[in-house]
Amino acid sequence: MRRLRSWLDATPIAGLALDVVREATGRTDPLEPLRPARAVAIPRGAHVAFWSLVGGVGTSSTAALVAHRSAGAGRAPVLVDIDRWAPSLALRAGLQAASVADALLRPGRERECLSRWSDVPFLPGAPGLDAMFETERVAQLLARVAEGDPMVVDLGSGADALDAGILATMDALCVVAGPRASQLQAAFCSVALLRAAPCRVGLVLVGAAVPDAERIAVRLPWPLFAAIPTDPYLATDAFAARAPTMAAVDRLIGALS
Ligand SMILES: Nc1ncnc2c1ncn2[C@@H]1O[C@H](COP(=O)(O)OP(=O)(O)OP(=O)(O)O)[C@@H](O)[C@H]1O
Ligand SMILES: [Mg+2]
């Protein structure tokens, strides 16, 4: 269905359908939820990490959306959850499968541990990962799992999750923040932790409109990659998003180029 939808969105039929709806409703603009958008693909071979100093801001959901949207554009990155304490992506995917911990025990055969979450090759996280986390081993695992493909990594949250050795293997880090006072405070406290970041850093504001996100971003040292709106679909445990959210994810992927 998703493929059919992407194909239809890319044809003139989508424009015609919008004209018909505009005529029927008398509304010219915006018809945001209906506006067709061509999915954007993550750059070839790019490794992108998502992180937040505090939990619960939308880091995992945004990372997964980026991976799925890029897959919809024909370039599926490998999605890896290395949240050491509370990996949540497998729950979101409704998957019980081999995890990062299993892959660490199979050096050279890590890719055999990959599952599929729709069109996205996916390696779920392991709640006990912190006990066996060694930077070099995990960095090697990521390199072998990606094997030249693009990759999206959920680092989880907290200062410990910001491992310099892992970051050094990334092309970009998305610092995810929310607009609440405590979430903003966390974003400002992240600045000191990322002063010597060995990769490009950008800000992703979840639950904020673009003008608000821009006002916040000028007070932080990183460019605003995207503002992801509050999405009633995403707020449930199902993994679905509205069109404006997808458009924001496209802007985020575009900022990674
Ligand atoms: N754009 C959004 N709009 C509305 N709700 C969202 C959005 N993104 C995420 N959520 C909701 O916020 C909650 C936290 O999301 P998510 O698990 O992605 O955050 P996290 O930062 O990875 O949290 P954790 O600290 O548990 O790893 C979830 O209930 C999710 O459904
Ligand atoms: Mg998470």
Asked if residue 37 belongs to a domain, the reply is no
Half-sphere exposure of 11 (CA within 13 A, CB side): 8
Q: Whose CA is nearest to atom 6 of ligand 1?
A: 235
Query: Is 106 found in the same domain as 207?
Result: yes
Per-residue pLDDT of the chain (257 residues; tens, 9 = 90+): 567 776 777 788 777 777 777 776 666 665 555 555 678 999 999 999 999 999 999 999 999 999 999 999 999 999 999 999 999 999 999 999 999 999 999 999 999 999 999 999 999 999 999 999 999 999 999 999 999 999 999 999 999 999 999 999 999 999 999 999 999 999 999 999 999 999 999 999 999 999 999 999 999 999 999 999 999 999 998 899 999 999 999 999 999 99
Query: Is 55 found in the same domain as 6?
Result: no
Query: Is 58 found in the same domain as 107?
Result: yes
Which helix or strand (DSSP H or E) is residue 6 part of?
A: helix 2-9
Q: Mutation test of ligand 1: which of 89, 212, 233, 234 has the most ligand atoms closer than 8 Å to its C-beta?
A: 234
Asked if residue 81 belongs to a domain, the reply is yes
Query: Is 58 found in the same domain as 144?
Result: yes
The tokens describing 108, both together, are 């050279």
Angle between helix 59-72 and 243-255 (nearest 10): 90
Asked if residue 72 belongs to a domain, the reply is yes
Task: Provide the 3-class DSSP secondary structure of residue 130.
Answer: helix
**Is the Cα torsion angle 210, 213, 215, 217 positive or negative in sign?**
negative
Query: Is 121 found in the same domain as 234?
Result: yes
Compute the distance between CA of residue 112 and CA of residue 109 in angstroms, rounded to an integer: 6
User: How far, in Å, is the centroid of ligand 2 from the Cα of 152?
Assistant: 13
Asked if residue 98 belongs to a domain, the reply is yes
* Number of structural domains found in the chain: 2
Query: Is 48 found in the same domain as 27?
Result: no
Give the CATH number for residue 136.
3.40.50.300
User: How far, in Å, is the centroid of ligand 1 from the Cα of 130?
Assistant: 22
What's the whole-model pTM score?
0.89
User: Residue 27 belongs to what domain range?
Assistant: 1-31
Query: Is 3 found in the same domain as 108?
Result: no
User: How far, in Å, is the centroid of ligand 1 from the Cα of 199?
Assistant: 25
Q: Whose CA is nearest to atom 30 of ligand 1?
A: 235
Query: Is 95 found in the same domain as 10?
Result: no
Compute the distance between CA of residue 248 and CA of residue 192 in angstroms, rounded to an integer: 27
Contact between residue 165 and residue 197 where contact means Cβ atoms under 8 Å apart = no
Query: Is 249 found in the same domain as 133?
Result: yes
Tell how strand 172-177 and strand 200-206 pair up: parallel
Q: Whose CA is nearest to atom 26 of ligand 1?
A: 56
Query: Is 61 found in the same domain as 17?
Result: no
Compute the distance between CA of residue 74 and CA of residue 119 in angstroms, rounded to an integer: 9
Asked if residue 205 belongs to a domain, the reply is yes
Query: Is 208 found in the same domain as 238?
Result: yes
Query: Is 16 found in the same domain as 75?
Result: no
Asked if residue 244 belongs to a domain, the reply is yes
